[in-house]
Structure 1
Amino acid sequence: MSTSSVPRPEPAAPSGPLRRPALPPFVRRGIVEGALPALALFAAVRLAGILVVILTNDLRGHPLVRNLAHSWDSRWYLHIATQGYGHLIWITPKGAIQTDWAFFPLYPALIRALTTVLPVTPAQAAMLIAWAAAGTAAYGAYAIGHHLYGRGVATALVALWAVLPHAVELTIAYTESLFAALAAWSLYGVLKGRWLWAGSLAALAGLARPSGFAVAVAVALAAAHEAWRQRGRVPASLWAGAVLTPLGWLGHVLWVGSQTGDVLGGYLEVQRAWDSRFDFGAGSLRFLRALLLHGGGFVYPAALVIVAAGVLLFALLCLDRAPLALVVYTGVLMLLVVGGSGSFSSKPRFLLPAFPLLLPMARALARTWRLRRARAVLVYAALTGVSLLFGAYVLAVAHSPL
């Protein structure tokens, strides 16, 4: 009898729950476990923030979305993207000559590049870049939290970052979201020992903002510590990454100096015209004294509370013995905020990229979620409400510099 006529037995039904098909290794390497719910929450909160701003604009009779892409520094970035450097100056009432050389080139270069490949205006390109960078930064923050403490803390970290009072500034045409994205993935590269990746992203972060050298310092010191710990027996990629870290920031600083005729000091002169210099906290003390003596609008006391909370969170981060790169990065940003001059209302924005400050709170929120879920939901709902209202106020109502 032909073997083809013999009936074949049916395969046995699998016992137990069905398993998802395994993802290919190259896909698994690109996905940090459990990130999608955290990123969806981040996107939902920040989208709600934008909608509240639009509603506030409508109630006040203002253009609905113009202040998302044309507020304060945004206008300078858009002008650089369309006209290049050296074509825009502003003379302050005190006679200081402010030039566009104070603004770093990566963001306007990306805006210009996007408008050449997509049928969008510079303002639309600026918004697309800011939103994409905010999501990328949230993913990087999640990756760091997951690497250190697991999924629960990582989700809480992203959730808290989304509801900072001033988080609306992550989704307008500013550089904070771009800088935070580059910084987050550079720091993640340090934690994973991928030094070329970390150094390259640190160099790009140095082209995004003046505070970009905070990433360079963090990566370089982490590399030096690793070399000391391994008694110098480290891969060549570590040294290469450490060398790359300052090149972006240093390149722009020297270029500005060459444009002014003073290679080493020109950039500092340009920043001084913007009242941006490191004065060891003298400006912050003058602001505090004036606020106590004469009071101020809502934005300035709120900014003081946010900065003071940042100092406290930095102390907690140090007590938690966070990795050296995270401590150095956030420490340099805190030092620039507290020790630098300039409008105090802008200082909370300068702290936005310092997401590692939220790690102690994220650990506490994750514990609360496990033990008292209703309380965690109530706390998070309250924080969300404050964030949405405060963000709409500073962007659509207040006249203080962002």
Structure 2
Amino acid sequence: MTFPHLPASDRKEIGNLALAWGTTRAALLLVGYLSLHLLPPAGPRMPGNLRWHPDRAPVLEIWARWDAEWYLLIAERGYAGSREVLRELPRYREEDASGFFPLYPIAVRWAGAALGDPVFGGIAVSNLCLLAAAWFLGRLVREDHGEAAARWVPWVLFAFPTSLFLSAVYSESLFLMLATGSVWLARERRWWVAGAVGGLAALCRPLGFLLMVPVGWEVAGDRGRGPLRFAPLALIPAGTVAFLLHCRATYGDFLAPLHRQDRWRGPGSGPWRAFLRFFEDPQVHGSHQSGLELAAAFLVLAALPLMFRRLRPGDSVYAALTVAAPLCTSLWSFGRLTLAAYPLFHLIAIPCARRPWFAPAYLSLCLPLGALFMSMFASGWWVG
């Protein structure tokens, strides 16, 4: 594919993005497909998990596990309809779907109607959003650390060990696109559009309202206007409030998502809670006591001081809050939830461009882990 009317730099950027996406997604697809046929399925070992959609072709089915079932349920039945389904399942409460915010299921429903299959629609939405997220993040990195670092962004993001969730029927890639897009629009001084996009992000993930921090930092830097310049920031938490009002109307509980999180992840305290909980019953990998998640948490926390030294304060504070929030309850899904911390990928891209050894070391560590996680996920085992 050629783009003769684009500048050479843009054509090179598109080619790099396409190559990174194509090679990493093809590798994950191959690993997942082979694992589905060669590894024992997790079903007999993990009974009782929600199972909503009927099986699809293997190339689709490997991307629709665990939380994907919830998104597909909400996409088809809505929150009110999901109450009737969950009422018949003793493992769940009828308000448990409130833990999954609505924007991604809406997108899956529309894409599924257009493409003829909700699973295919969800995969298409996730991958298109993934490409857009990498493009926006590349723009942010280029502005602060140059073209060389920006070229590494797709490889850093797509090779991350839990990047399979960015192509699966999960909301991570949609949120990442909206988060990076909102910050990029703020840097372009398009305040109201940035606030509106941030509000959509808050309709996508529970911590979307934290985008007030990086967007607010950019607004604060525009000192030529008065205090009213902060007004667009109100659009970001408006997305969260809108969904909470919907929960009040549907479940009779304004804080239904928070109460559901308490039941699933456990009550919260400080960010030390996850580590104390791990040592109650350490495991190599599991839900709340995963050694793999513990290692990921230590690595990400170790990166935070570097982030505050090298990145913009708004981005760094946002990343710190995004990382600390899940640690207040559990290590459960920490590696996946870290995908929302877009400044982490910005930080990793910098030494990839400046240290000849860093990128090979990063890829050598992350790609095998990503293949392992994909093989587990495709076979129905818990990953994150």
The bucket for the TM-score relative to the shorter chain is 0.7 to 0.9
Task: Name the SS for the 1:246 alignment partner.
Answer: helix
1:249 maps to what in 2? 240
Paired residues of 1:161 and 1:355 also in contact (CA < 8 A): no
Aligned to 1:83: 77
Q: CA deviation at 1:296?
A: 3.4
Native 8 Å contact 1:258 1:266 kept in 2? no
The amino acid across from 1:250 in the alignment is V
Deviations 1:165-219 (A, max 9, x none): 1111111000001100000111112222221221111000011111211213432
Distance 2:61 2:266 in 1: 24
Q: 1:324 to 1:196 in 2, by over 3 A?
A: farther
Q: Does the alignment pair 1:226 with 2:214?
A: no
Please give the alpha-carbon distance, in whole angstroms, between the structure 2 residues aligned to 1:363 and 1:98.
43
Whether 1:306 and 2:284 are equivalent positions in the alignment is: no
Alignment match, 1:196: 192
Number of residue equivalences:
359
The range that moved more, 176-185 or 62-71, is: 62-71
CA distance in 1, matches of 2:236, 2:377: 34
AA aligned opposite 1:38: N
Alignment of 1:271-286 (within 5 A): 271-275=261-265, 278-281=268-271, 283-286=273-276
Q: Is the 8 A contact 1:152 1:366 kept in 2?
A: yes
Q: Provide structure 2 residue ranges, at least 5 long, that are not aligned to the other structure.
A: 42-56
> How large is the RMSD of aligned CA atoms in angstroms?
2.9
Contact 2:36–2:375 under 8 Å retained in 1: no
Q: Secondary structure at the match of 1:84?
A: helix
Please tell me whether residue 317 in structure 1 is matched to residue 328 in structure 2: no
- Measure how far apart 1:245 and its partner are: 1.7
Q: CA deviation at 1:233?
A: 4.0
Of 23, 30, 34, which aligns to 1:51? 30
Aligned to 1:60: 39
8 Å Cα contact 2:63-2:167 kept in structure 1: no
Identity score, percent: 22
Q: Distance in 1 between matches of 2:359 and 2:175?
A: 30
- After superposition, the C-alpha distances for 1:113-143 in whole angstroms (9 at most, x for unaligned) are 2233x24211111111011111111111111
1:353 deviates by: 2.1
Greater displacement, 297-306 / 376-385: 376-385
Distance change (3 Å), C-alpha of 1:304 and 1:285: closer
Of the three residues 68, 71, 77, the one matched with 1:74 is: 68
Counterpart of 1:350?
337
Indicate the residue corresponding to 2:364 in structure 1. 382
Going from structure 1 to structure 2, the CA distance change for 1:257 and 1:380 (only over 3 Å counts) comes to: same
1:206 and 1:277, CA in 2 relative to 1: closer, same or farther beyond 3 A?
Answer: farther
Matched, 1:326 2:315: yes
Q: What's the CA shift string for 1:329-368, capped at 9, x where partnerless? A: 21221121222x24x2411100012131133332111012
Amino acid at match of 2:305: A
Query: Is the deviation greater in 248-257 or in 165-174?
Result: 248-257
Whether contact under 8 Å (1:45, 1:384) holds in the other structure is no
Letter in 2 for 1:349: R
C-alpha distance in 1, partners of 2:72/2:107?
Answer: 11
The question of whether the paired residues in 2 share the 8 Å contact of 1:97 and 1:273 is answered with: no
Q: Which amino acid in the other structure matches residue 112 of structure 1?
A: R
2:135 to 135, 139, 142: 139
**1:168 equivalent among 164, 173, 178:** 164
Question: Where do 5+ consecutive residues of structure 1 fail to align?
Answer: 1-20, 370-374
Say if 1:351 and 1:259 are closer, same or farther in 2 by CA, change over 3 A: same
Q: Match of 2:205, as an amino acid? A: R
Contact 1:190/1:325 (<8 A) preserved: no
Cα offsets for 1:202-243 (capped at 9, x unmatched): 0000111112112134323542x335xx26447x6x434222
Kept in 1, the 8 Å contact 2:265–2:332? The answer is no
How far did 1:276 drift?
Answer: 5.8
1:6-25 to 2 correspondences below 5 Å = none
2:213/2:318 contact within 8 Å kept: yes
Q: Which residues in structure 2 correspond to 1:149-188 (within 5 Å)? A: 149-188=145-184
* In structure 2, distance between residues paired with 1:240 and 1:34: 38
TM-score, L = length of structure 1: 0.80
CA contact (8 A) 1:58 1:64 kept: no
1:7 is aligned to none
Q: Which residue of 2 aligns with 1:109?
A: 106
Q: In 1, distance between residues paired with 2:71 and 2:344?
A: 28
Q: Deviations over 1:241-288 (max 9, x none)?
A: 22212111121022213333343x444323323336542235403332
CA contact (8 A) 2:112 2:118 kept: yes
Q: Which amino acid aligns with 2:322?
A: L
Q: Which residue of 1 aligns with 2:382?
A: 400
Aligned equivalent of 1:123: 119
Contact 1:368-1:376 within 8 A present in 2 as well: yes
The 3-state SS of whatever aligns with 1:65 is helix
Contact 2:99 2:257 in 1 (8 A): yes
Contact kept, 8 Å, 2:352 with 2:359, in 1: the verdict is no
